[in-house]
Amino acid sequence: MMKNVVDKFIRYAKIDTRSDEDSTTTPSTSKQRNLARLLVEELQAMGLSDAQVDENGYVMATLPSNIDREVPVVGFISHMDTAPDASGENVNPQFVENYDGSDIPLGNHAVLSPSDFPELLEYVGQTLITTDGTTLLGADDKAGIAEIMSAIEYLTNHPEIEHGTVKIGFTPDEEIGRGADKFDVKRFGADFAYTLDGGRIGELEYENFNAAGLTVNVFGRNVHPGTAKNQMINAITLGMEYDRTLPHDQRPEHTEGYEGFFHLMDFQGTVDSATLRYIIRDHDKVKFEQKKMLAKHTADYLNEKYGKEIIVVELADQYFNMKEKIEPVKYIVDIAEQAMVDAGVEPVKNPIRGGTDGSKLSFMGLPTPNIFAGGHNFHGIHEYVPVPSMEKAVEVIVNLVKNVTRLEK
């Protein structure tokens, strides 16, 4: 079981599956289907005869129950795409055996150092899988896929382990926020599920940000600078003023834990016009709504200050805190916590400072907390995953499947 998870991860990591936020198709890139087809083939080879990839690139399969009583149907989900803003082509994973706590040369003059990433020292003596310094690794979320596949393979090879019906799902386009958009919850047929996505060993998460996108459109007026007095309206400087007016301490670089933020992601402009794009995040629904209102009031304030409607904001909700949907069925967190304890893993229940497919799925009627997949430093050349973390994730999945058999439908 344990060797298989590494072999699978390396095989999947070498397949380029970057998504594309500018694409309007699903999946956003056809190359994600290459991994989808491989996973279907492997699932069918394990005996999951219904495994298939649908027209939108979603993979689903069923491990039938081997017991004669009815228990809840549990699902496990990971995403196939990797981040579009980092190279996922020609991924060449490197092994660091018996890590000794020193700097790790990655190649291409890159170094993975505990002086930059102190958590590396928690893995002294372990085998690490790193990048070669030129691409991301793809542990987010191919480690999760490998762990689910290894656990299912272990269960099929050990029919003496009692289990109910288990559903498997692999999604495209999670990295661009669309992973659950066309997920067919009814067809999936699970009572609840777990994503295995990123995250250091022990993470068990059922809270995430409420999220909105904010676009600030600034309309200026260009006049020759030699005769611009009292006539020019510089959209760039007005955009900067808008940003300065928002709370300085509510930026990502000044927040942690449950603290929310305004994050300026992009600023494009000329004197004539400028566009600022933000994401707004907060775990607390009331504070989230207050942040959205502040974004509107800031525009109103500047429009009144300059006596013209020169700033127009557009707000769009993106996803919500899944805690609202998980708390009524909190036992699904409890049995996951017990599965970790039984595997010798200390559960770490922190809020997700981001989003997850589980958020949208929970609001679509499929309560879906998140379990660690073991990776660190996602989306770049310093990404790595400790092998024992992946091995423990496999064990946790198997334990969870066992725990479900103690529940009543």
The catalytically annotated residue of 16, 81, 147, 282 is 81
Give the pLDDT band of residue 355 (cuts 50, 70, 90). Answer: confident
Domain end residue (candidates: 319, 347, 364): 319
- Domain assignment present for residue 374? The answer is yes
264 and 377 together in one domain: no
Instruction: For residue 187, give Cα distances in angstroms to 9, 139, 183, 281, 319.
Output: 27, 28, 9, 31, 22
199 and 308 together in one domain: no
Cβ 66 vs Cβ 163: under 8 Å? yes
74 and 150 together in one domain: yes
Convert the pLDDT of each residue in 297-314 to its tens digit: 999 999 999 999 999 999
Tell me the one-letter amino acid at 406: R
Convert the pLDDT of each residue in 273-305 to its tens digit: 999 999 999 999 999 999 999 999 999 999 999
Domain end residue (candidates: 257, 292, 319): 319
The domain that contains 253 carries what CATH number? Answer: 3.30.70.360
274 and 285 together in one domain: yes
156 and 292 together in one domain: no
49 and 85 together in one domain: yes
- Range in 147-156, 226-235, 316-325, 349-358 the model is least confident about: 349-358
pLDDT of 2 higher than 80: no
37 and 93 together in one domain: yes
Across 290-383, the runs of DSSP E, i.e. the strands, are 311-319, 370-371
Buried b (16+ CB within 10 A) or exposed e, 143-177: bbbbbbbbbbbbbbeeeeebbbbbbbbbbbbbbbb
| CA gap 12, 29 in Å, rounded | 16
Cβ 209 vs Cβ 285: under 8 Å? no
181 and 70 together in one domain: yes
- Domain assignment present for residue 409? The answer is no
**Taking the model in full, what pTM does it have?**
0.90
- Strand partners of residue 348: 203
- Strand partners of residue 218: 274, 311
Query: Domain span at residue 385?
Result: 2-207+321-404
The domain tally of the chain equals: 2
Block residue for tokens 């670089």: 253
| CA gap 339, 396 in Å, rounded | 5
131 and 276 together in one domain: no
Tell me the one-letter amino acid at 52: Q
Convert the pLDDT of each residue in 362-383 to its tens digit: 999 999 999 999 999 999 999 9
200 and 84 together in one domain: yes
Strand 74-79 and strand 166-171: pairing?
A: parallel
The domain that contains 182 carries what CATH number? Answer: 3.40.630.10
* 81 catalytic residue (yes or no): yes
Output the six-digit token pair for 292. Answer: 């959205």
The catalytically annotated residue of 16, 42, 174, 395 is 174
97 and 228 together in one domain: no
168: part of which helix (H) or strand (E)?
strand 166-171
193 and 255 together in one domain: no
Residue in 364, 366, 370 with CA at minimum distance from that of residue 393: 370
Across the chain, mean pLDDT equals 96
Convert the pLDDT of each residue in 14-56 to its tens digit: 999 999 989 999 999 999 999 999 999 999 999 999 999 999 9
Give the largest CA-CA distance in the chain: 86
